[in-house]
Amino acid sequence: MINRRQFLASTLATATAASLAAQPAPSWGGKVLDIHHHFRSTPNGNLEHMDGCGVTNAVLLTNISAEEKAKAEVKSNPGRFIRFTSANITKPESFEVLRNSAKGGSKGFGEIKFHVALDGPEMKRLYALAAEVNVPVLIHFQEVEYTPGGGGFNTGFSRLPAILKEFPKTTFIGHADFFWANISAETSVGVAYPAGKIKPGGLTDRMLSDYPNLYGDTSANSGRNAMTRDPDFTAGFLARHKDKLMFGSDCSCRDGRGTGQASTEPALKGKCVARETLAALKHSASPEIFRKITWENGVKLFNPNF
């Protein structure tokens, strides 16, 4: 037998869960493009997340193994999706696969997340291919190891300016821990999500100003953290790069309401990254700049048919 207090607590929990699902999705004042939505092959999985958090359109980041399913998703939901493709670039045969994917309607290469140096031979070959077929490359920059020996991804961040210079016809979209940690001039490769005040003059901030071929993707906890850690800094940063930043979520929750959030970061417990980051952007950007970051910049860059 449960006592009255337990009964009330469980009734309340059920009611809260039910009312959460019944709540309308937030409105962000217009269409919202999520440029970092990993393709979900479950029935209605993509739209369930988007509809729950008020995202109208998405870039489906798709591994080549799921390309046919992603194509079908785009086709059966006209005006909602475009797709990017990723393939293991440490295997030479992947370059022909990616070239064909771009010819077949993929609008970008991504997410590119392999244990290589950002200026290694595989990545240089990818940058050249992206310029040749005229699609952007979305890159995960991470120096910190999450597991001992796990290694980083696209390492050597301080050498990115040289690459941006060497490949001026390639469009780069930066994402993940070290890209966002470097909006501050004070960074440590051992800290994935630095907290507190930002020291002006960070490498990412300077590169966004100096290189027309670099864009920023606000997704994941890294983007959310960067947009919230020092609100005094954020407004100026968003205004400075209003034509270069694009909203992305990289969220793992199921329903756009936080259910099943896989991130173990305390700030994201039971929360939807899309909602958190959109709220942060809304807080620190003017309505005009919010529109650019959440819609216009991506539409301009990817030229989708929505």
Q: Which stretch binds Zn ion (CB under 5 A): 119-127, 139-147, 262-270, 295-303?
A: 139-147
Select the residue interacting with Zn ion from 74, 112, 116, 272 (CB under 5 A). Answer: 272
Among the listed residues 37, 140, 229, 292, the single contact to Zn ion using CB under 5 A: 140
CB of 127 or CB of 233, closer to Zn ion: 127
Q: Does residue 251 interact with Zn ion by CB under 5 A?
A: yes
Q: Is 224 in the site for Zn ion (CB under 5 A)?
A: no
Q: Tokens in use for 108?
A: 């970008």
Shortest separation between residue 130's beta carbon and Zn ion, angstroms: 17
Shortest reach from residue 65's CB to Zn ion, in Å? 18
Task: State the DSSP string of 91-159.
Answer: STTHHHHHHHHHHTT---EEEE--SSBTTSHHHHHHHHHHHHHT--EEEE-B-S-SSTT---BSB-GGG
Nearer to Zn ion, 116 or 253 (CB): 253
Of 129 and 274, nearer to Zn ion (C-beta) is 274
**Interaction between residue 59 and Zn ion (CB under 5 A):** no
172-175 sheet: strands from edge to edge: 33-38, 57-63, 81-86, 109-112, 137-140, 172-175, 214-217, 245-246
Q: Amino acid identity of 209?
A: S
Query: Which has the closest alpha carbon to 128: 167, 177, 89, 85?
Result: 167
59 or 176, CB closer to Zn ion? Answer: 176
User: Cα-flanking dihedrals φ and ψ of residue 137, to 5°?
Assistant: -120, 125
**CB under 5 A: which stretch of 13-21, 209-217, 223-231, 273-281 binds Zn ion?**
273-281
What sign has the CA pseudo-torsion 126, 132, 133, 137? positive
Peptide bond into 111 cis (omega under 30): yes
Q: Of 20-28, 71-79, 128-136, 251-259, which part binds Zn ion (CB under 5 A)? A: 251-259
Closest CB to Zn ion among residues 178, 233: 178
Indicate whether 253 belongs to the interface with Zn ion (CB under 5 A). yes
Site for Zn ion in 160-189 (CB under 5 A): 176
Pick the stretch among 77-85, 194-202, 233-241, 271-279 that binds Zn ion (CB under 5 A): 271-279
Q: Minimal CA–CA distance to 244: which of 282, 273, 210, 286?
A: 210
Complex with Zn ion: residue 135 or 289, whichever CB lies closer: 135
In this chain, which stretch among 56-64, 68-76, 96-104, 136-144 interacts with Zn ion, using CB under 5 A?
136-144
Contact 262, 38 (CB under 8 A): no
Integer-rounded Cα Rg, in Å, for the chain is 20
Give least dist CB 89 to Zn ion, A.
Answer: 15
C-beta neighbour count of 9 within 10 angstroms: 12
Give me the residues that bind Zn ion (CB under 5 A), please.
Answer: 140, 176, 251, 253, 272, 274
